[in-house]
Structure 1
């Protein structure tokens, strides 16, 4: 699956993702190379759902940024600094996006469609659109003046510099002056018009023409004709409707027809208005605001991240700015780690259910003492959620975002490889077994000592004995290669075999055993991951009880049947 977002190939006028054009080109080159590698992690880690938490409007672009897996420490820091500014200066984060959104909406809905006006309604719409742009620029200038001393990131400074440069730009100064003059001319010249109407013998209007205009409003007392028309207004369908229909053009209201006719008859005045609109539009286009469109999704990227952080904090969880380590350090520390996907699901569940779901945090360290974990434990104990949390933490860190952990430092990885068999593919199946072997060959051909490997219930399509032997050999090879990873499995014996590998001289990543903890008396899932070896019990009774299967009652029933 390719996630090369070619729309990013053209640099925006202000780039909030890359500090320089060289960094952008390098990222595009890296992204193209990554597309040649397996991208199963995008689906397995549910990155589309993660992107939706940032913004539902640019999901594809968000996934593309995740799939970039930036290993450029300067790019990551550039983004982290921007996000930190938006977190620490609420006045900027709450106002900046709103102003730019208003400007872009005004540009798309009004200024982009603007043409030479042929009626007063269009003329007023044009001037109103220019005034809206001016108001936004004034608001942006005010935000700049009040907050620029607090801004630390190079990216936000560049964004403000762009707007401040335009604010003092000769084109904007001229645009503002001409728009003000245009509005003044429109509001100060004509207040009323005298129109002559010719009728036939049945008092049906047959012709009309402009007689004169005035700067004064017309306030004479109602005439007989006014009273007739007033009566007609009360009986619109019987008197006024035929008249309306007579003067209606296709797709236009009667008012627009009169508006255009009046505009045309006043050409000795309106020609100046049209010329003024054209002049103002020329100045607007000279500013080059259209190049700001790329900033829209970039701001959504950051504002979505701010919202994620605030939502987590509201539920007692902490997201943090990770310390990014060079790839060669090959280590990671994640404390207070949680899965954002499960976090959202739990929140949705808790809104409508009395049995609340808690989000449990965990700690994990990948270093020289333990870098590849075999995760075992009871079913429905949180193994998949933990594996996904590790992967998402790595993805978000390399995207330049805060991570779902209270504390975090990690080395960048060159790629994340995942192996998550689908539900319908589980069980003993010769063809599925062959496919699994081929998938692992593809991974082993490409994976390096700077990669992260996440496996979830892999190697399960043959007999249990063969599954353990094959999985043990795979782990041995990956540990010799120096790969970091987590393997969530129901193969308890594998944890013991992995422990035996720790003493082998060729192993560059030491394996370790993790278990998801369970209350030993009740079998209640605690969702805490701890170092240790698995127990023999699968806590079947607690699983049966959860789904309403009463084993003691069934035993009594059986005894009664055979009396």
Structure 2
């Protein structure tokens, strides 16, 4: 059987992986990506794989479409997802056989190891062949079709078919050996001087009890001994490779001299099987190398999507546009972190506020103003997370989406006073902003959340205006969430003063709406001028701290003369 290239469900064959960029740890922290990775990890056996995939964002529309097709087939064909989820432990075990190479293994260990690998291979091939035979004709993803063709080719190969016939007997020969009978010669002082192997048995020896010997009872079984002489000790380890709780693990029997010598004798039992196994040297599991982790990534995504859909939350396959168009359009988008936090509520869909985002030629730079806890940070996170999910090839939390890949996501969030460097909070802010403009391009996404809040309003407004002008000249997509209402009120001048094709737009968060329960925040983000003092008066009136309200209260108390 000729060797074929390794299959990947993330990367089309022949497409390089150069069009990726690593997600910065600061961006992952500011967007709280860890919450989403944790939600995915609860459906996957290997959290490391999910983090590795999520850390490399792809910019190639062809690769992203390839991934979307793989995910959509799982989403549309639930039977395929269910069967693959059942097979995943076996495919992962097969991957472990390939990665655990020990050049110092004995012939006995090599035979048992290879038999185990071939057994896993047969389990995986037969299971995959069955599921692809049922749904293969309905799948559109190139990744699944290639995998199905490889599996079918192996399943029909004469060498593989012969293996399926011979493997049960070989496994039975090895696994039926449960004990050996050893003869030990003693000298005249009853010291052991020589041993010989008398037989290899199908049943394990056990020890007869003290009561049996005391009462002179004869053991009914032929394999019951007087008492154990040696057994493999257990060694308690702090953590095993799977990261589970501390537990006792058996020591390798080959570390015990007697057992090591016996293993050499037992190799004679394995030699006929070793000769048989040479006929299957062309059967390799390499075509599945790495697929288990990628499969786990997609299956975890499907399970999370099902959970969100079950709560009535919208999800969509985003249309991937060319990077040069610099577009991000979301209809009824929402913050996935917030949705995951509210999943325990009975009416999650009502509790999660949906907002639109439209970054295109009519506006790529948003100046977002509004009150504290009015939804500004939630909105900024929503846009950033949707961008990340789209560039992983996943569905995004929105009813509809059209997104151009970005070559970097740069975030600038406030830091705690204790985290600031010797330069102070403002100095640290300035350094981090400088770093962003050292690396960002016109194809980047820049998310500024309350930047320049550590200095006085006059200085911060002056610097903020310069930053927005530079962003417009760059042509980047950006959101600047700020309390600088003067900055948002001046967008017309900013567009006139700085040339560029990234229009600056003012967005307003969380207007006060009247309802049956009185006035309340809407958490909606809409285009418009900042509300400024009039909005502050509404807030003051709502909480009873308006001028007239306070004066009336003081007069009632008789405080005023």
**Which band: TM-score by shorter chain?**
0.7 to 0.9
Deviations 1:207-256 (A, max 9, x none): 999989999x9xxxxxxx9x956957899xxxx99x324x3345399xx9
Match of 2:295 in 1: 299
Aligned: 1:510 with 2:506: no
CA drift at 1:284: 6.2
Match of 2:443 in 1: 450
Which residues in structure 2 correspond to 1:21-420 (within 5 Å)? Answer: 21-24=14-17, 26-27=18-19, 30-31=20-21, 40-55=26-41, 58-59=46-47, 61-105=49-93, 108=96, 130-183=118-171, 243-245=226-228, 247-249=229-231, 251=233, 273-279=269-275, 282=278, 286-289=282-285, 292-347=288-343, 350=345, 358-420=351-413
CA drift at 1:63: 4.3
The answer to whether the 8 A contact 2:508-2:526 is kept is yes
User: How well do the aligned residues superpose, as a CA RMSD in angstroms?
Assistant: 4.9
CA distance in 2, matches of 1:146, 1:405: 32
CA distance in 2, matches of 1:377, 1:415: 27
The 3 A distance-change label for structure 1 pair 455 and 271 is closer
Aligned: 1:533 with 2:529: yes
Match of 2:484 in 1: 491
CA drift at 1:87: 0.9
CA distance in 2, matches of 1:96, 1:378: 48
CA drift at 1:432: 2.3
CA distance in 1, matches of 2:60, 2:441: 18
The 3 A distance-change label for structure 1 pair 244 and 499 is farther
The 3 A distance-change label for structure 1 pair 534 and 523 is farther
CA drift at 1:447: 2.6
Deviations 1:175-198 (A, max 9, x none): 32331332566799x999999999
Which stretches in structure 2 are left out of the alignment for 5+ residues? 187-192, 204-208, 235-249
Select which of 444, 465, 476 maps to 2:458. 465
Which stretches in structure 1 are left out of the alignment for 5+ residues? 1-10, 200-205, 218-224, 546-550
| Aligned positions, number | 512
Deviations 1:282-315 (A, max 9, x none): 5666433256342122112211221221121111
The 3 A distance-change label for structure 1 pair 41 and 374 is same
The 3 A distance-change label for structure 1 pair 130 and 326 is closer
More helix by share: 1
The answer to whether the 8 A contact 1:426-1:460 is kept is no
CA drift at 1:14: 1.0
The answer to whether the 8 A contact 1:47-1:63 is kept is no
